[in-house]
Amino acid sequence: MSTPNTVKLELPFKAPFDWPRTLRFFAGRATPGVEAVEDGAYRRAIEWAGDSGTLQVTRHPRKHCLIATIDGAAARHAQALAAPISRMFDLRADPRAIGACLAADPWLAPLVDAAPGLRVPGAWSGFELVVRAIVGQQVSVKAATTIIGRLVERAGKRIDDHPHERTAWRFPTPAALASVDLAQIGMPGKRVAALQGFAQAVATGAVPLDDPAADTTTLRDALLALPGIGPWTVEYVAMRAWRDPDAWPAWDLVLMQSIAARDPALVRPTQQRTRTDAWRPWRAYAAMHLWNEVTDRMGAARGG
């Protein structure tokens, strides 16, 4: 049911859809104060075209669709929000076609069999995702989440009278993050400089990261040209923000270790490339399956 201040959208997907693992991925990387996963739902505060509100996404108990509930003034933009929400939850993927391709590889076949509806979770904002990627360089997923929470408290904005305490903060704007004092935030000085240099580039429009009309090839080059941003960050953003199904973060430690465990002769990405190229054009999904395997085994978010 929809009201003027609440709109529910049914967003269809092709089955199977591994909703529990999608939520697990988001939960392990949720920005404290901004995003929350609880009671089978993903929730966050949002802004769209100057209007604010709350987004909640759940899986329909019977139909092959997700239910996106938008509360607040942002509900008036519900139809415009359908596309970015669908991209965020990878609803356009064809899991049977992707699975059939990847399952031809004996390494990936059991992983596809274990999680046939695995998706590549996206992101609400490309800017947020790059911030997380920079913060996450050379630290664990858990440590990155802790630091991101500190960034939100220093540079974000608390939402007055917000109905959900766990999502009562707005993520810092590029301008706010570029100018805030990040002393003793828990990152090395060079990484702080890289983070704020990136934020400044977005704030000035030099890197139009969330402009849907921007050319992704140009954006890749622009990101790589910034200090402290390397190929891993760019490929990770391509996977999750730009929806490139063939993006491959080759220097991800978990991916490198997963491949080397299967063939000790393949230690570095340059040695692994021939094998990973066989997973084209779905290497992003291969990465998700390898990350998921480790998470299933260890019970904690690893990789990505």
Query: What per-residue confidence (pLDDT) applies to 164?
Result: 87
4 — pLDDT class (breaks 50, 70, 90): low
**CATH 3.30.310.20, the chain: domain bounds:** 6-92
Q: How far apart are CA 131 and CA 136, in angstroms?
A: 8
pLDDT tens per residue across span 208-229? 998 888 999 999 999 999 999 9
Q: How far apart are CA 283 and CA 265, in angstroms?
A: 21
Residues 6 or more apart whose CB falls under 8 angstroms from that of 276 comprise: 248, 250, 259, 283, 286
Domain 126-240, CATH class in plain words: mainly alpha
Residues 6 or more apart whose CB falls under 8 angstroms from that of 198 comprise: 130, 131, 134, 207, 223, 226, 228, 229
* 212, two tokens: 């849907």
Superfamily (CATH) of domain 6-92 = DNA-3-methyladenine glycosylase AlkA, N-terminal domain (3.30.310.20)
Q: Is pLDDT of 20 > 70?
A: yes
**CATH 1.10.340.30, the chain: domain bounds:** 126-240
Active-site residue, 252 included? yes
Q: Name the residue among 246, 304, 249 with its Cα closest to residue 278.
A: 246
In the DSSP assignment, the letter for residue 66 is E
* 271, two tokens: 């040695």
Catalytic option among 94, 244, 252, 277: 252
Angstrom CA distances, 4 to 43, 142, 227, stand at 20, 39, 46
Q: pTM of the entire structure? A: 0.93
Q: Is pLDDT of 3 > 90?
A: no
